[in-house]
Amino acid sequence: MIYINGQKSEFELNQFSNFEEVIIATNAACNNANEIITEVHLNDELFQELYPHQAEDIEISEVKKVEITSIKYIEMASQIVTELFKVTSSIRIASTQASESLRRGDDMDALATITNMTEVIRNFLSMIACFQSDFNAPVTAEYESLSEKYNQILLEVNDAMENEDWILVADLLGFEVAPLCSDWDTYLTSLRFFFNSEINTVSQ
């Protein structure tokens, strides 16, 4: 038996020769419904591949029951936005800690924190851009202003680091980067409202 979100699907196990074919077919069905698979249970146990194409090695005769759990893309996006509040919090903490480290003269600790923080910020901005390109999230004036400010500040941080002006770096992190996190939280709140509105529209 093959179930998708608790409902018996149109697929039958005898249509397939191995478990990978089942996953491919159910994944295509979920994609057609604008959904993404989040969990796969095989014979009442959570299935996670231990090596690439492990599912292909599982003959259909070994498969008794498949349970697929999926979620709408728009719902997944909403959940990710909620998680991004943790990211802005980590950026705020990291920038504050790096600023304090620089003022104490702990340059090495500060540089490691700044490097990691910069990568987090880059991924954060990429995720926001993905929401706009893939989910038609509005590109608001608020977003454009914040994005421009962040990019400008990061350029100033980079220039100050190249000039080894650690006091300026500390000031930029403590007085520019950290406070902007609150503005990003405000933007994320509006973004979450947008996705929730979209979810309600889809559900109607």
- Mean pLDDT per 10-residue run, the chain (204 residues)? 94 95 95 93 95 94 96 91 95 95 89 92 91 89 91 92 93 94 94 88 65
| pLDDT for residue 187 | 94
Burial class (CB in 10 A: 0-12, 13-18, 19+), 3: middle
| pLDDT for residue 203 | 62
| pLDDT for residue 172 | 95
| pLDDT for residue 202 | 66
Q: Taking the domains of the chain in order of start, what are their residue ranges?
A: 2-64, 75-203
* Tokens linked to 102: 């620089």
| pLDDT for residue 199 | 85
| pLDDT for residue 191 | 93
Instruction: From 8, 43, 7, 10, select the one nearest 25 (Cα to Cα).
Output: 10
| pLDDT for residue 11 | 94
The CB-side HSE value for 100 (13 A sphere, CA atoms) comes to: 7
